[in-house]
Structure 1
Amino acid sequence: MLRCRLALHCIISLMVLLGDSLPAGAQQTAVFGPISAESLTGVLREVTVPSGNPGIGDVISVLTGLEVATAPLGSPSGGFVYSYDEGVGAPLRRSGTFGPQFVERALTTGRGTTSFGLNVFNATYDTLSDYPLNNLRVATFRGPQPVISSSTLNLRLRSMTAALFGSVGVTDNFDVAVAVPIIRVGVNARMVQEEPGVGTAVLLSDGFSTGLGDVAVVGKYRFWRNRDERSGLAALVTLRMPTGNEDDLRGIGAWRTMVGLAASAELGRLAVHANGGYEFWSESVTLSNNQPGPFDEVWGLADQVQYGGAVEVEVRPTLTFTVEAMGRLVRDSGRLDTVSFNTQFSPELGVDGVDLLQVTSGHLRKFVLVPGVKWNLGGNRLLSFGLRMAQADTGLRDTLTPLVGFNWTL
């Protein structure tokens, strides 16, 4: 921390010594960069190291990768549900609705029924633990004056996910699906370091990456159904493989297995669904403030609780309206907060305290609402629209995330 403070002081002082070569009015402001890095984690690390809070870049990287990798991809199930009717001698459609966008329904698609789909999300993140990303005060050094230097990070984080789905009914009661996310993550970072009476330094860095996220394999077994097969209970198992690159914020580097239950009930034009499950991680994800000695704390992020519910209304035979509510909880994940240290770090520089943006104890909680529609384009083709609306979020948050999807059942 002291080394970073000295580096910051030297950078700004050197900038001022060179001020005579700069245009009038700009002598106390210098821009450095963009700083190059081999990965998006490197982008965030390099731009924040001189701030006096060197661990904050890695913290933001971990929390960003966690959000991108654990965000729901959407239900991979086909929109049309069939079962073989022995009296008719042919498969018949059993549900009048097309299924929720995210919450899994207990109904299975039917033996031999195959479907393919695509969901596209576009997220531009607004806050991190309720701190605005465009004004993250990561470090403030205090002394005889209230503020003798400060470092503020202006950050733009965005991701676009295209999730490709394939699903097949192995039997009338057992479906298997695969989801392959292709993710593009972009980072634009601007660190503004100010020392009143001395000058301002601006450090720039940016980058983007495109590639695989964590691929999912989903199994659903319906173990109970009512007589007309429009209501039921099912067991869910989802395996997420660590195919996403951790350093480029597209994965978390752990095998994840979610075990859960799904319940569905239909009455006329109305359908209700509920899900719940627990996701086991093969290894924890380390989160550290990266501070020396007693100032450091380390968290091991591991396992996740998931739950959700959905209501569908068949507006007309070709149109279904849905409202969904979903929540997630990552245990022992910590959250960001400003922590004050009043120890006399550096008397020669007049520093007797510092306020740092740090990870503190807590859980990562998320809760969203998703209104949406599914429209039958003709045949067994569906077009869907939705809007993921964040209601409560102690991690990386995008207030409104639009969704466009397509599903084709063969």
Structure 2
Amino acid sequence: MQTVLISGGGIAGPVLAHWLRRHGFAPTVIERAPGRRPGGQAVDIRGVALDVVERMGLLEQVRGLRTRMRGMSVLDPDGREIDRSTEATFSSGRLDSEDVEVLREDLVEVVYEHTRPHVEYLFGDTVTALDEDGSGVRVDFAHAAPRTFDLVVGADGLHSTVRRLAFGPEEDFVHHLGSYLSVFGADNFLALQDWQMWLRAGDTGFGIMPVRDNTELRIAFGFESEPLAPALRDGGALRQLVVDKLASMRWEGARLAEAARKAPDFYCDAMAQIRMDHWSRGRVALLGDAGYCPSPLSGQGTSLALVGAHVLADSLARAGGDHRAAYARYERRMRPYVTLNQALATENPGGPASEESVAHAKNAMSLDS
């Protein structure tokens, strides 16, 4: 039984662990955080990614957790409504679509609980070194004793440690898209009822949606910026930058700034894509955002993670122990799909991609091909 270390306990890693276990591998998932990460934006499961969830036996459970929006308002900088829709929202697309929008933390919890009985999880630790030889990869950890695995997969996001250790500096692969995104939760101080609000003012803007039966808000705040200096990318400085930008906004700026200042689930990072010529080197491969992050602007990061996990596990299962052949098949199958979905992020700067482009990209492969 081949052993596989998967770095990253979000969505891509545990889904890969599910499929590897089903194919007879022994997966171990390591996650830097002490447990499942709370918070995060609503994410979309679209097209062929829904087939992955269905084959896991989780589709009905996930559908039961979907967001329930009636529509959205678009506001001017003073909070006056300038447009509205009861047919679509910017976060999820058409409301009558078969696609499913859920909170990221809910999807993480569902997949974790589904895999926990059969997968080894190591929380609160991280990979610090990889040393490959002809028989495996010796992995050093920040806390646990070193272990050797047959294969290693980096599913550890935009700032992947595995990618840095195996392929080189992040700067060689990251392509900044000119903005940053912050996501955080708050009490529903706007009393929104299954209704989103979107506002843009110059080079900043936000979307607000109610969650948890309208008891909470999830706020996504974006601002245009070139890559920030390293001193500004640390958690405290970045949070203060977001607080200051929100405080300068005319409509609800003070309350939004205070929510950002207090939020225990505060998140902020660059809108960026990872573009690489190859997603594997030796016994190490990359999955999801670690190898081909499309950025939240595409709306397809979760779908790429789900589909990529299925295809990688399937490729390994078919390869009869030949990881080189497996990784090559994985890349052949995934790259056209990744390319189309990454393109969604840049098709319409400042707005969503067309419905036609999304429909084409989300269905651009078959799990059985």
Quickly name the TM-score band, shorter chain normalised.
under 0.3
- Compare relative contact order (CA 8 Å, sep 6+) and give the higher one, 1 or 2: 2
Which structure features the higher share of helix residues?
A: 2
